[in-house]
Amino acid sequence: MRFLRGYNDAVVLGLARSGTVTRGELAERSGLTPQAVSKVVGRLVADGLLVESGTRNVGVGKPRTLLKLVAGSRFALGAQVERGELRVVLTDLAGDVLDRAVTPLPADPDPAALVGELVRLVAPMRTDRLLGVGVGFVGPLDHRTGTATALGERPDVPLRDLAERALGLPVVVDKDTTTAIVAESWRRGEELRDAVLVLVGAGIGVGLLLGGRVHRGARTNAGEFGHTTAQLDGPPCACGRSGCVAAVHDRAARAGDLAAATSVVGRAVADLVRLLDVDHVVLAGRAVLAAPEAYLAGVRARMRLPVDVGITPLADDVVAAGAAMLVLSEFYGRPR
Ligand SMILES: [Zn+2]
């Protein structure tokens, strides 16, 4: 919570995100006293984050003033560093994507070159009232220090510090699967409490939302789902073992056997759902977007529990948009 201006401000803004709201409703839903709500609202209106927007009649008594979020009052940038590609999006305070830019990256980018490309893509999207930049990265990394350890053979690249210096903006770095589940959590609010986001791209990973909180694990690298063993005598995997979900999936996909590729993902996701007892599965990533119906069918067919299985509507932007929403959530978090 490096940017957060106050817990109460975050709680009130989080509640105002879902629609117009009165001061009384804010007090009721936040558990804050009416006096505290008045103070916070006064501050947020003065800063332009909330605006009074008409009144609502409540039967007896005078009509209540409605408050709403000013989506264009603050902005955040989000980036996705993927093998071979860098994507940057601009979002407003409501989390809507307003602009995007994409550029190819070398397979093993030099950290300085990567940061240089980031600065170049960000430049035309710079605006007043920009809160910061989030970066979603394939990992492994340490979210707490913003250090990446997957840039080729180089050990411990302080990606956050390099980017902050080059951009002159606050930066947060997180695993791509984590930013992707942040995007879904941000968009769907309280409806989503126990969910997995399955990202099928260059590898296969999951973002975890458990009990309404993003789960990062002890080393902030939770979600290496693609290296779960799917087949004991299966094909060798890049991780040095064999028969991993990702290796079995990729072999089937390369052979053009989409049914086999989606089936291995479906079976593994069904195991994960049983393990964690989540009720939402969100599918994302290049492979899924290339054949959405096949992946939906492959996963749904293996669910034995009532689980909502869908595809992220943020499509190719989900990781980058989630990285921007991570910045927004550090600023005006989600009430727990
Ligand atoms: Zn593996």
Measured in whole angstroms, the distance separating CA 216 from the mean position of its chain's CA atoms is 12
pLDDT of residue 334 exceeding 60, the answer is no
Q: What average pLDDT does range 244-254 have in this prediction?
A: 96
Chain centroid to CA 131: 16
Query: Reduced to 3 states, what is the DSSP secondary structure of residue 167?
Result: helix
Ligand 1 centre from 153 Cα, in Å? 18
The more confident residue out of 163 and 141 is 163
Spacing, Cα 231 to ligand 1 middle (Å): 11
162-175 b/e (C-beta count within 10 Å ≥ 16 → b)? bbbeebebbbbbbb
Cα dihedral sign, 207-121-290-252: negative
327 CA distance to ligand 1 centroid (A)? 31
Taking alpha carbons only, the member of 209, 211, 236, 240 closest to residue 222 is: 209
Taking the centre of ligand 1 as the mean of its atom positions, its distance from the CA of residue 316, in whole angstroms, is 24
% of the chain beyond a pLDDT of 70: 96
pLDDT digits (tens, 9 = 90+) for 75-100: 999 999 988 899 999 999 888 999 99
CA distances from 216 to 177, 220, 270 (A): 10, 4, 21
Whether 229 contacts 244, CB under 8 Å: yes
* Choice between 22 and 220, residue whose per-residue pLDDT is larger: 22
Global model pTM greater than 0.75: yes
Confidence of residue 153 (pLDDT cuts 50, 70, 90): low
How many Å lie between the centroid of ligand 1 and the Cα of residue 238? Answer: 6
CATH class of 74-179+319-331: alpha beta
Tens of pLDDT, residue by residue over 23-70, are 999 999 889 999 999 999 999 999 999 999 989 887 778 889 999 999
Spatial CB neighbours of 329, under 8 Å, sequence gap ≥ 6: 182, 186
What's the chain's length in residues?
336
Higher pLDDT, 18 or 316: 316
The predicted structure's pLDDT at residue 144:
87
pLDDT of residue 336: 38
Q: Could you state, in order of their start, the residue ranges of all structural domains in the chain?
A: 7-69, 74-179+319-331, 189-314
The structure tokens listed for 284 are: 């994302």
* Tokens matching residue 5: 């201006």
Give domain 7-69's CATH architecture: Orthogonal Bundle (1.10)
Find the 70 Cα to ligand 1 centroid distance in Å.
45
- State in Å: Cα 58 to ligand 1 middle: 60
Q: How far is the CA of 135 from the centre of ligand 1 (A)?
A: 24
**How remote is the CA of residue 330 from the centroid of ligand 1, in Å?**
33
Question: Which fold does the domain 189-314 belong to in CATH?
Answer: Nucleotidyltransferase; domain 5 (3.30.420)
pLDDT digits (tens, 9 = 90+) for 8-22: 887 888 888 878 999
Q: What pLDDT, in 10s, does the model give residues 156-193?
A: 889 999 999 999 999 999 999 999 999 998 878 778 89
CA 185–ligand 1 middle distance (angstroms): 28
pLDDT interval class at 152 (50, 70, 90)? low
228 alpha carbon – ligand 1 mean position (Å) = 7
User: 248 C-alpha to center of ligand 1: Å?
Assistant: 10
Contact status, residue 305 vs residue 276, Cβ threshold 8 Å: no
- The full DSSP string for 94-125 is T--EEEEEEEE--SS--HHHHHHHHHHHHGGG
Instruction: Convert the pLDDT of each residue in 255-312 to its tens digit.
Output: 999 999 999 999 999 999 999 999 999 999 999 999 999 999 999 999 988 999 999 9
The reply to whether 7-69 and 189-314 are identical in fold is no
pLDDT of residue 335: 42
pLDDT, position 1: 37
pLDDT of residue 18: 76
pLDDT band per the 50, 70, 90 thresholds, residue 141: confident
Residue 59 confidence (pLDDT): 77
Q: Kindly give the distance from the C-alpha atom of residue 307 to the centroid of ligand 1, in angstroms, as a whole number.
A: 27
* CA 220 / ligand 1 centre spacing (Å): 19
The kind and range of the H/E element at 21 are strand 21-22
CA of 210 to the centre of ligand 1 (A): 24
Distance between CA 136 and CA 80 in Å, rounded?
Answer: 5
- Name the residue with higher pLDDT: 336 or 170: 170
CA of 183 to the centre of ligand 1 (A): 26
